[in-house]
Amino acid sequence: MNLFIKYSFGLLAILLLPACEKEIDLAISGQPQLVVNSLFTPDSLWSVHVSKSVPVVSPNPPSPVNDATIQLFEDGVLLEELTRGVNGLYTSTTHKPMVGKTYELQVRDQALGQATARERMEVEKVAIVDARYVAVRDAKHEYPVSVKVKDPAGVSNFYVVKVYGVEEKGDIYIADTRSDDLAASSKEASITGIGFSDALFDGKEYSLQLKLFYGYPKLIIELQNVSPAYYQYHYTQQLQGKNTNDPFSTPTEVYTNISQGLGIFASYQADTMHVLPEQK
């Protein structure tokens, strides 16, 4: 279970998007499709990852598409056109998403055709009230972590919490995390974060209980308030990962909101907190 992906601190923000992509769809048959992934936040410049789908039985990874044309619209007005990809990643140099705006993405490729997506940026940032980390293994030989949030009342909120371990030399890892918490959408260990909703605690403070498989000198906790599309994508992605290793399970198709293609175009806002360990 000790599964880690190492990131240098300077590249962490850029690499988060590719890290949470799993460009597989069990319904794929016949011709390949555009796979478009963009998880966007007002804290970062626009970035879009484009690749070509492969059958689930293929041993090859999805191929990046670097010669697509990407048009980004804000409230129906063309905001920017991106035409050069590096390993499939297209990045704006000037524009960031804004709350209250509706965004549309149009991706065109000569061989694969056109794919589109649309999402309104409505999620607000929700702060981490407190976070605690016990650097002593519990009865299950895991390290307890709790993350307290103050949920806004009267609106359905969906969250993804991610944990990063910081080693003594400053190296940062995405920690393999799981949760037995009643609010957690999945009980499976994950490096893409633990999803949960406010269905059990609307408008109240709540401490989500997490478990780590490896102890670190320091943690960085990231709390993302995510759109419903993001949450559905995250949940089905985790479910697919679980079922892939179970030959008796029903195949799971990852949620997509890309028209005439695959992938996800969804918004979030994040708050982070650095946490030092407590001795139990």
Instruction: Tell me the average pLDDT across 152-165.
Output: 96
Rg of the chain, C-alpha, whole Å = 19
For residue 140, what pLDDT is reported? Answer: 85
Asked whether residue 136 carries a pLDDT value surpassing 90, the answer given is: no
Asked whether residue 221 carries a pLDDT value surpassing 50, the answer given is: yes
Strand partners, 278: 134
What's the mean per-residue pLDDT of the chain? 87
Asked whether residue 246 carries a pLDDT value surpassing 70, the answer given is: no
- Cβ–Cβ < 8 Å for 198, 185: no
pTM for this one? 0.85
What digits encode the pLDDT tens for the residues 94-111? 999 999 999 999 999 999
273 token code pair: 């907190």
253 token code pair: 């198709």
* Rounded-to-integer distance, Cα 43 and Cα 224, Å: 12
What digits encode the pLDDT tens for the residues 30-53? 689 999 999 999 999 999 999 999
Fold type of domain 10-122+255-267: Immunoglobulin-like (2.60.40)
9 token code pair: 């601190």
Asked whether residue 186 carries a pLDDT value surpassing 60, the answer given is: yes
Instruction: Tell me the average pLDDT across 246-255.
Output: 69
Q: Select the more confidently predicted residue: 209 or 60.
A: 209
Q: Select the more confidently predicted residue: 14 or 211.
A: 211
**Helices and strands (H, E) in the chain, number of each type:** 2, 18
For residue 245, what pLDDT is reported? Answer: 57
* Rounded-to-integer distance, Cα 126 and Cα 149, Å: 7
Neighbours of 192 (CB within 10 A): 18
Instruction: Tell me the average pLDDT across 164-176.
Output: 95
* Rounded-to-integer distance, Cα 215 and Cα 55, Å: 38
**Quick one: CA torsion of 188, 18, 124, 94, rounded to 10 degrees?**
180
Instruction: Tell me the average pLDDT across 41-69.
Output: 90
136-145, 187-196, 215-224: which has the highest mean pLDDT?
215-224
Residue type for position 31: Q
Domain ranges for the chain, please list them.
10-122+255-267
* Rounded-to-integer distance, Cα 115 and Cα 174, Å: 31
Phi/psi for 68 (5° steps) reads: -80, 165
Kindly give the pairing relationship between strand 158-166 and strand 172-174. antiparallel
* Rounded-to-integer distance, Cα 150 and Cα 231, Å: 19
